[in-house]
Chains A and B, each alone.
Chain A
Amino acid sequence: MTDPSDTATLALTPLDALHRRLGAKMVPFAGYAMPLQYPAGILQEHLHTRASAGLFDVSHMGQIVLRAPSGRAEDAALALETLVPADIVSLPPGRQRYAVFTDDTGGILDDLMVSNQSDHLVLVVNAARKAADLAHLRERLAGRCAVEPLADRALIAVQGPKAEAVLAALAPEAAAMRFMDVRPLTLAGAACLVSRSGYTGEDGYEISVPADRAVALCEALVADPAVQPVGLGARDSLRLEAGLCLYGSDLDPGTTPVEGALEWSIPKARRTGGVRAGGFPGAEVILRQLADGAARRRVGLAPEGRAPVRAGAALFGAADGGEPVGVVTSGGFGPSIGAPVAMGYVPVAAAAVGTVLFADVRGKRLPVRVAALPFVPPRYKRS
């Protein structure tokens, strides 16, 4: 039940009034009042995003600027590489890359996007972690980088096969961008920082816009008949079908990037024998796991029946008896698949696609099959 007073003490995004005007059901999320869904409902919002274009408010996420005293992005990149196992130094201006903050045991403190803005870096971090990330950056990069939240900005996403046409109608240059390009664009009169990226598996854009121009920009976007507002409910089902991790559920300080199947985010330069090997927190653990493997691994899980298998469900190797061998970390219904989908951690011996495991759902063991991720093919515009 949604009691409007539930959200009274929460932070509001610059789009709060617009959400309410659009009939959103608002819920508390990471300290913010956020739209769970609009009157169309989660299923329809999900399917509309895959068929056309969805507009998401993700202003609760943290936007952080990292600036080296030298005024060179490369110096900020070298500093940031002491906290993440990604290759930031080779990131060209106008490009964005995925990274994770690790701790001294190799566990993941947050996952983030990093873009090179020529003379500084911009980081986009999870809402629930932004205060901790800011403190972590300021403590660990003291003297090497100024760390400032990008103030008074909203962050919105336009996702789906019609996103390009929608953005190009406001700024033709948007069409020429490739996946993970980042450009300054003027949209509906607002000076925006736009990346071609997202959290749905679809082509699309994420747009950092001055807070006082956010409503006007969103109104211009929803005026396009291809665009419909989409809430957190469909955002979660879209990212789950796309095999993308939710920090706090699929990734946390108890999981390493290797266990999380995020090796692709650790390039050669940072691995043993690389030009800037190691030098990030937990490197010893992570480099050893890259060489020898980890004991468990994040995999896709396709329940064989119709019942959704949710986060927290224990996984067993047999239909009865025995101890749990793993756990589901995200799970629900995949509207584009028309069937339940899930992700979880299993022993490496059970991580091969096709392996049958059993999930405990309300005391019953339901068969689930280890499945390749993503569940839906990505449609990023890579070229």
Chain B
Amino acid sequence: MLKYTKDHEWLRLDGDVATVGITDHAQEQLGDLVFVELPGVGCTFTQGTAAAVVESVKAASDIYAPVAGEVTEVNEAVTQEPGLVNSDPTGKGWLFKIKIADRGEVDALLDEAGYKALIAG
């Protein structure tokens, strides 16, 4: 069960840790990624602040922390092979894991139906 932000990130919950990536719609809009910069493990973010950067041939885009918390793990595979984010955005192309500080922030995110309505709109 994924949750989504209006900025086209997804979260997969596992206890109090959320795995974060960008949606298939987002990767398609960005095009082929050539560079991914991930936060350091142990970094803390407030909700909506820039936590990572993905770059396509054309442009750089910030990835925002979808919820406040501390980064517990990052996916080094995507820094070596940014194309994983294009080929498998919700699987092997995950970006980082964050320990959720405030569960209420998660509840306020979009569910799949809400996100689909957002990108259709």
Q: Report which A residues bind B (CB closer than 8 A).
A: 1-2, 36-37, 41-44, 46, 233-234, 236-237, 306-308, 310, 332-333, 335, 340, 362
Are B53's CB and A43's CB within 8 A? no
Residue of A nearest to B36 (CB): A306
Are A1's CB and B57's CB within 8 A? no
Are A2's CB and B29's CB within 8 A? yes
Chain A interface, DSSP helix/strand/loop, else mixed:
mixed
Residue of A nearest to B57 (CB): A42
Q: Report which B residues bind A (CB closer than 8 A).
A: 29, 31-32, 34-35, 37, 53, 55-60, 79
**Partner pick for B32 among A1, A36, A42, CB 8 A cutoff:** A42
Known A1-B29, A2-B29: A42·B56 in contact at CB below 8 Å: yes
Are A43's CB and B32's CB within 8 A? yes
Are B37's CB and A42's CB within 8 A? no
Q: Which residues of A contact B31 (CB under 8 A)?
A: 37, 41-42, 233
Are B32's CB and A308's CB within 8 A? no
Known A233-B58, A308-B60: A333·B29 in contact at CB below 8 Å: no
Are B29's CB and A308's CB within 8 A? no
Are A306's CB and B57's CB within 8 A? no
Nearest CB on B from A359, distance (A):
13
Q: Which residues of B contact A236 (CB under 8 A)?
A: 58
Give 15 new A-B contacts, CB below 8 A, not counting A234-B57, A306-B35. Answer: A2-B29, A41-B32, A42-B31, A42-B57, A42-B58, A43-B34, A233-B31, A233-B57, A307-B37, A308-B34, A332-B57, A332-B58, A335-B57, A340-B34, A362-B53
Residue of A nearest to B56 (CB): A42
Known A41-B31, A42-B32, A43-B34: A307·B57 in contact at CB below 8 Å: no
Are B37's CB and A333's CB within 8 A? no
Nearest CB on A from B25, distance (A):
9
Q: Can you list 21 contacts pairing A with B, beta carbon distance less than 8 Å?
A: A1-B29, A2-B29, A36-B58, A41-B31, A41-B32, A42-B31, A42-B32, A42-B56, A42-B57, A42-B58, A233-B57, A236-B58, A306-B79, A307-B35, A307-B37, A307-B55, A308-B55, A310-B59, A333-B35, A340-B35, A362-B60
Cα distance A310–B29 when bound, in Å?
Answer: 19
Are B57's CB and A43's CB within 8 A? yes
Q: Which residues of B contact A310 (CB under 8 A)?
A: 59-60
Known A1-B29, A2-B29, A42-B58: A308·B53 in contact at CB below 8 Å: no
Cα distance A36–B58 when bound, in Å?
Answer: 10
Nearest CB on B from A372, distance (A):
22
Cα distance A362–B35 when bound, in Å?
Answer: 14
Q: Which residues of A contact B53 (CB under 8 A)?
A: 362
Cα distance A234–B32 when bound, in Å?
Answer: 11
Cα distance A340–B56 when bound, in Å?
Answer: 11
The 10 closest A-B pairs by CB, nearest first: A333-B34, A43-B32, A42-B57, A41-B32, A333-B57, A308-B55, A233-B58, A237-B57, A307-B35, A306-B35
